[in-house]
Amino acid sequence: MGKRTAIFSGTRLLTSTGLLLALAIVAIPLVQGCSTLSYYQQAMVGQYNVLSNRIDIETLIADENTPAALKQKLETVFHIRAFSAIEMQMNIGNSYSQYSDIKRDYVVWNITATPELSLTRYQWCYPIIGCQNYRGYFKQKAAESETDQLKQQGFDIWMGGVTAYSTLGWFDDPILNTFVYREDSDLAALLIHELSHQILYIKDDTAFNESFATAVEIEGLRRWLISINQEPLMRRHQLKIKEKDLFISTVSASMNRLKTVYESDLSDDAKRVQKHQIIEAMKEEYTQGIRDSHLSGYFTRWFDKVNNAKLITVSNYYRYVPAFTAMIAESEGDMSQFYETAKKLSEQDKNIRNNILQSYMLKAAQ
């Protein structure tokens, strides 16, 4: 069973690395510097290894030698794909119609970075797909090397294992051993999230892309649980929503406090003291919230070794989710209409786009 990091750690985020196999053919002649060339080369090799081991799901399901647990999960994937095509009105193509065992727990290792006293996201930029607030490596040692270099420059760094990603339709993404054994509802959420990246993805706006995909995931999972009429899964899902809401609200409030401190006229030393105090208080607030709400504390381990870089992984996923959720409601559940509205919004200038999203956020809060 593949290990799982929290949803905000990058387990489903890395859309850029998969694309680099195709982009590297164009980019390698254009790049300069050994480190840049090395990055594209590792992306090519890593993505090739994932794709070269693919086996059709239907073949594995029919094979009597396929382990029963794997066969059951692949049958679930088969149904989730059909649901996504019909109910969620997605053009799924051949995505997730094959299986690949990469013989490790994580497919890539993801890095995010910020200055020590700022929540400004460090960005890496690529041809065609633009800039991203994260970077992924297929080799853990390569990610650790990049992390060490950024630390030496004074950045807050967070690195985590990633179990799944999307190539945005450039390739037929396979089901991986790193995530196939998740609980059925988690597996459905993941696949719907990744398939949504094939519907809409824009350059240089990680928060827009991930918030859109997360909103589609939430709506899709709600509908899928209704469609399979699994009361136990519904109850667990409702508890997970409560857990997630508490986690997001706690982290978001702390990020707002940190932003106020970082933008103040305090000395750097004073800011460091307050940074530490706010992060410690955040952990205590979450723990108290768990007690008060009688929840399981699903995200407790996430609060280990928190810094600015780890905090921004949360905002990447959830900044505009209420806005996109409001847009789905405005479309009266017609997903095709929602996708069209979101695509038109994506064509706006970024400032105009963000203002429109903020207006939806205000409506959702009322």
pLDDT tens for each residue of 233-275? 888 888 888 998 899 999 999 999 999 999 999 999 999 999 9
Computed from CA positions of residues 287, 293, 296, 298, in that sequence, does the dihedral angle turn out positive or negative? Answer: negative
Q: Mean pLDDT over all residues of the chain?
A: 88
Identify the pLDDT of residue 125: 83
- The average pLDDT across 52-64 equals 95
Q: In Å, what is the CA distance from 199 to each residue of 169, 209, 337?
A: 9, 10, 13
CB 102 within 8 A of CB 158: no
CA-CA distance, 222 to 203, in Å (whole number)? 29
CB 10 within 8 A of CB 132: no
Q: Which of 33-47, 119-133, 190-204 has the lowest mean pLDDT?
A: 33-47
Residue 35 has pLDDT above 70, yes or no: no
- Model confidence at 26, pLDDT cuts 50, 70, 90, reads very low
DSSP string, 122-163: P-EEETTTEEES-EEESSHHHHHHHHHHHHHTTEEEEEEEE-
Tokens matching residue 76: 């679930």
- Model confidence at 74, pLDDT cuts 50, 70, 90, reads very high
Residue 15 has pLDDT above 60, yes or no: no
Residue 280 has pLDDT above 70, yes or no: yes
Identify the pLDDT of residue 21: 46
Which of 232-241's residues contact partners 24+ apart within 8 Å by CB, and which partners? 233/183, 233/184, 233/185, 236/183, 236/185, 237/185, 239/295, 239/296, 240/298
Computed from CA positions of residues 47, 48, 53, 55, in that sequence, does the dihedral angle turn out positive or negative? Answer: positive
Residue 206 has pLDDT above 80, yes or no: yes
CA-CA distance, 251 to 74, in Å (whole number)? 35
Domain boundaries defined on the chain: 1-53+102-165, 233-365
With 0-12 CB in 10 A as exposed, 13-18 as middle and 19+ as buried, what is 55?
middle
Tokens matching residue 20: 């680099």
Residue 29 has pLDDT above 60, yes or no: no
Residue 98's DSSP bridge partners are 56
Q: What is the pLDDT of residues 303-360, one digit of tens each?
A: 999 999 999 988 777 889 999 999 999 999 899 999 999 999 999 999 999 999 999 9
Strands (DSSP E) along 215-262, which ranges?
none
Identify the pLDDT of residue 129: 66
